[in-house]
Structure 1
Amino acid sequence: MSRRLVLHVGAMKSGTSYVQSRLFANKRMLLDRGILVPGMNWLSQVMAASDVLRGGEAQWAKMAGKVQAHEGTSVISMEYLGPVRPVVVRRVLASFPDHEVTVVVTARDLNRSIPAMWQETVQNGRTWTFADYLAGIEAWRPGHRDETAEPPESGRTFWRQQNIVRFARTWGEEVGSSRVVVVTVPPPGAPRELLWERFCSVLGTSPDGFAPARMGNESVGAASTLVIRRVNELLNDEGLVFPEGTELRKGVLAKQVLAARKGEEPAIGLPVAPWVADHAAHMVSALDGLGVSLVGSWDDLTPVDVPGVDPATVSPSVVADAAIAGLAGVLAEQIRVASTSFSSPSDASVDDEGSG
Structure 2
Amino acid sequence: MSPGQQRLVLHVGVMKSGTSFIQSRLFANKKMLLADRGILVPGMNWLSQVMAARDVLGSGEEQWAKMAGKVNAHGGTSVISMEYLGPVRPVVARRVLDSFPDHQVDVVITARDLNRTIAAMWQETVQNGRTWTFADYLADMESWRPGRREALEGSEPPEAGRTFWRQQNLVRIARTWGELAPVSVVTVPPPGAPRDLLWERFCSVLRTPPDGFAPARMENESVGAASTLVIRRLNELLNDAGLPFPEGTDLRKGVLAKQVLAARKSAEPAIGLPVAPWVRDHAAHMVTALTELGITATGSWDDLTPVDVSGVDPATIDDATVLDAAMAGLAGFLAQQIRQEDES
Per the normalisation by structure 2, the TM-score is: 0.97
2:84 maps to amino acid: Y
Displacement over 3 Å in runs of 4+: none
Aligned mate of 1:260, from 259, 263, 275:
263
Cα distance in 1, alignment partners of residues 304 and 42 from structure 2 = 31
Structure 1 position 335, deviation (Å):
1.5
The yes-or-no answer on 1:303 pairing with 2:306 is yes
Cα distance in 1, alignment partners of residues 135 and 288 from structure 2 = 28
Matched position secondary structure for 1:137:
helix
The yes-or-no answer on 1:159 pairing with 2:160 is no
Partner of 2:184: 181
The yes-or-no answer on 1:5 pairing with 2:5 is no
* Aligned pairs (5 A) from 1:86-97: 86-97=90-101
Matched position secondary structure for 1:6:
strand
1:150 maps to amino acid: E
Aligned mate of 1:172, from 170, 178, 182:
178
Partner of 1:282: 285
* Aligned pairs (5 A) from 1:1-356: 1-27=4-30, 28-145=32-149, 146-175=152-181, 179-341=182-344
Larger radius of gyration: 1
Cα distance in 1, alignment partners of residues 129 and 292 from structure 2 = 37
What is the percent sequence identity of the aligned residues? 80
Structure 1 position 84, deviation (Å):
0.1
1:250 maps to amino acid: K
Matched position secondary structure for 1:234:
helix
Matched position secondary structure for 2:310:
coil
1:306 maps to amino acid: V
How many residues get paired?
338
Cα distance in 2, alignment partners of residues 337 and 209 from structure 1 = 36
Structure 1 position 338, deviation (Å):
2.8
- Unaligned 5+ segments in structure 2 are none
2:168 maps to amino acid: Q
Structure 1 position 24, deviation (Å):
0.4
2:342 maps to amino acid: S
Partner of 1:349: none
Structure 1 position 222, deviation (Å):
0.3
Cα distance in 1, alignment partners of residues 303 and 343 from structure 2 = 49
Cα distance in 2, alignment partners of residues 318 and 21 from structure 1 = 33
Matched position secondary structure for 1:174:
coil
Cα distance in 2, alignment partners of residues 90 and 271 from structure 1 = 39
1:80-119 Cα offsets, whole Å, 9 max, x none, are 0000001100110111000000000000000000010000
Cα distance in 2, alignment partners of residues 68 and 82 from structure 1 = 21
1:294 maps to amino acid: A
1:87 maps to amino acid: V
Cα distance in 2, alignment partners of residues 208 and 68 from structure 1 = 27
Matched position secondary structure for 2:185:
strand
